[in-house]
Chains A and B, each alone.
Chain A
Amino acid sequence: MNRQGRILVVDDLEKWRDEVSASLIRAGFHVDAVDSPATALQRLSDSFYHLMVLDIRMVETDPDNVEGMDFLRSLDERGEAMKIVVLSAHGTKGQMREAFKDYKIADFIQKEEFDNHAFLQSVREVFSESNINLALDVHWEGSSTMHAVINLIIDNERVKRDSVLSEQIAPELDDLLCRLFFQAQSLRVRPMTPGRSGAGVLWVEPFNEEGAGRRVIVKFGDQRKIDLEYRNFKEYVEPFIGGGRTTTVLGLRRTPRLGGIEYSLLGTTSEQLESFESFYRRASVAQISETLDRLFFDTCANWYASPSRLKLHDLTADYEELFNLSLENLGRTLFENLKSVQGKRDLYFKALGDNRSFTNPILALGDQHVRRSTYVCITHGDFNENNILVDENGETWLIDFLRTGRGHILRDVAQLDSVVRLNLLASEEASLDERLKLEETLCKPEKFDDLQHLDVNLLTENAALAKAYSTVLNLRLLAAKLVARNPHNEISEYYAALTYYALNSIRFYSTPTVQREHALLSACLLVDRLGL
């Protein structure tokens, strides 16, 4: 496949615009040409370019090139995504120095000494130095770039099917692969199930002259979020996550709006990795328990093993910040989207059949801050069913470090606990009555030590419910171990964490009603347990 290098020519003089464009087109590039910075910005918001050829003297009445230099400044944040070659009549040495030094332009060419051959050579050098393989063959398995960008969140806007944004972002994803895998000849690409963070995940097998290369995982999304994820990786993951299951970064590139990280999962005995969700569905409770044990006490052991000193921690602030959660907003929209729940201070669930009332957790929490004596340490911050990868031996690898950082020591285990109960127990697998029974049983312990007295199995004929119960009980026993050195033995810090995860789950309106009702019901019982 041979893509064209994409170039935007910006010059107010028609003669130069036409001449430069014609020369570049003859050399095989795709060229668009505009006559002003304003039109150029419009083009840049509609499309992407590898290179801009910019005349910095936009108008004859601007002898000091002020407008051109200002425009150059405004393009600065595009960084490596779009290179710039400046064309200038009457440019000074000072302007050339400023343009190279401060705006990292690729070249500065004087119009007075313009030589078409030298100009084209400079443009070709820029493409060559940019490490973009425009001839890369990308073979999508069961998908396409257009499909892979659906549901990404770019500049706070979700990419919807058949939208203008999807038409703009899909070619950028293709270009991102050409940058990340510039040394490969072809790729086999398969999308993996994305999380809810608005980013995408790809499984990629590169091929070069010598044959198939190492299979890798590519995380891609809004370039600012990918930048943050990489910084979190360098600060919190690389120095701590070790042993045989090391996630390493092989590449980091960007286009104007997309960023991408190439992760290699070192130490995997099998390259057939599956998501935790898929593993959970096929594995036995004993296998799941063993894998979770390794996840918390082997793969991530260094995070939880070096917590802060015991201190009074504001759990409300911690979780509200983690989720960007506002109880006020949640309360306002909750009942518009959950018609099956009625009441205000006391809630009634139609699906439960009886007339039992439950405490409204949002009103119960109000503006109170739940504070508990506990530990803070590095946490992954987003242990969902798609961010944990499992191999055929039950070993785990982590991806997605956007939320990685310091926080409540029980964040990760509480999230997986919530994921198992509220997401992995599928809507058709249990009624709300059955879910209530699960929650009531799990909410009985008043202290971590009481978990030992809970029945290992839930008395039910519902296999999915029983599996969820046993897995969650194992997770709570793991939580107890993580805070075993805390002399207070208080399980309420864990219940508080679960409350915020439950409330956050209600916000995902695409989740089936019974699962959102379950989340709300869980929060109702938990606030009672917390005595709020």
Chain B
Amino acid sequence: MKRLLVRKRILIVDRQKSWRDFSSKNLQREGFSVRSFGVYDHSKLDLYVTKSTPDLVVLGCSTLEPPDQEIIKHILRLRVQLLVVCTSPTWPVLHSLFREGVADVADKSYDPARLLQIVKETLESSSPRSSYEAVLQQGLS
């Protein structure tokens, strides 16, 4: 049976409008279905994630200050894959992000090819390789 090609859904969360626009435009051009938020609004996020179940949330942060850390924890509790893009994270920051459970951490860049590569790699490496992993990631429906 022929399967329908489903476009991967990506949610971009970043207070910086220029990066939000850049990444949305480039990912849409590559065929992704993209939505973006400019504020860290928990209830808005919850509603969107529950309704649209994005395949990946891309969170842009520059400082990884406490508000950023709080939103990271919140997104991970929603059981979605999270890619954090930030500027040159230190070893302890990187370590703590991975321990929290983010799928990947990458440098914030305005290179469209690099952005696409990171998003594709993250989607690939975070997709479950067995039913056991899928159940662990998404739970039983």
Q: Contact: B130 with A249, CB < 8 Å?
A: no
How far, in Å, is B84 (CB) from chain A's closest CB? 11
| Contact in complex: B91, A80 (CB < 8 Å) | no
Chain A facing B: main interface SS:
helix
Residue B94 at the chain A interface, CB threshold 8 Å: yes
Chain B 107-125 interface mask (CB, 8 Å, partner A; 1/0): 0000000000000001001
A100: interface (CB < 8 Å): yes
Q: State the Cβ distance, B12 to closest chain A Cβ, in Å.
A: 20
Chain B residues whose CB sits within 8 angstroms of the CB of A401 once the complex forms: none
Binds B, one of A152-160, A250-258, A388-396: A250-258
Q: Is A230 an interface residue (CB 8 A)?
A: yes
Q: Tell which of A93, A223, A250, A251 touches B94, judged by Cβ atoms closer than 8 Å.
A: A93
Q: Of B94, B125, B136, which contacts A96 at CB under 8 A?
A: B94
- Per a CB cutoff under 8 Å, which of B99, B104, B140 touches A249? B140
| Chain A residues with CB under 8 A of B129 | 79
Contacts of B135 in A (CB 8 A): 230, 252
Bound together, the chains give a CA A102 to CA B125 distance in angstroms of 6
| B89 nearest CB across to chain A (Å) | 8
Quick one: which of B94, B98, B125, B132 contacts A79, CB cutoff 8 A?
Answer: B132
Q: A102-B125, A108-B98 are in contact. Are A97 and B132 (CB under 8 A)?
A: no
Does the CB pair B95–A254 fall under 8 Å? no
Identity of the chain B residue whose Cβ is nearest the Cβ of A81 in the assembled complex: B132
Q: Which residue of A lies closest to B129 (CB)?
A: A79
Are B140 and A101 neighbours in the complex by a CB distance under 8 Å?
no
Contact A108 to B95, CB < 8 A, known contacts A101-B125, A102-B125? yes
Given contact pairs A93-B94, A96-B98, A108-B95, A252 touches B105 in the complex (Cβ within 8 A): no
**B49 CB-CB contact with A under 8 Å:** no
Q: List, in ascending order, chain B residues with CB within 8 A of A249's CB.
A: 140
Q: Which residues of B contact A488 (CB under 8 A)?
A: none
Which B residue sits closest to A76, measured CB to CB?
Answer: B129
B95 touches A252 (CB 8 A): no
B97 CB to nearest chain A CB (Å): 9
* Residues A250 and B140 in contact, CB atoms below 8 Å apart: yes
Specify which chain A residues have a CB less than 8 angstroms from the CB of B95 in the assembled complex: 96, 108
Most chain B C-beta atoms within 10 Å of own C-beta, residue among A100, A231, A249? A100
In the complex, A102→B121 CA distance in Å? 10
Interface: A259 (CB within 8 A) = yes
Could you tell me if A101 and B91 are in contact, using CB atoms closer than 8 angstroms? Answer: no
Of A250, A252, A259, most buried by chain B (CB within 10 Å of CB) is A252
Tell whether A274 is near chain B: CB-to-CB under 8 Å: no
Contacting residues of chain A (237-267) with chain B, CB-CB under 8 angstroms: 249-254, 259
Q: Which residues of A contact B140 (CB under 8 A)?
A: 249-252
A415 to B73, CA, bound (A): 53
Say yes or no for B133: interface residue by CB 8 A criterion: yes
Other 10 A-B pairs with CB < 8 A, given A96-B98, A97-B105:
A80-B132, A101-B125, A107-B99, A110-B91, A227-B131, A227-B132, A230-B131, A231-B131, A251-B140, A259-B132
Please give the residue numbers on chain B whose beta carbons come within 8 Å of chain A beta carbons, in ascending order.
91, 94-95, 98-99, 103-105, 122, 125, 129-133, 135-136, 140
A-B contact pairs, 13 of them (CB 8 A): A79-B130, A80-B136, A96-B91, A96-B94, A96-B98, A97-B94, A97-B98, A227-B132, A230-B131, A251-B140, A252-B140, A253-B132, A254-B132
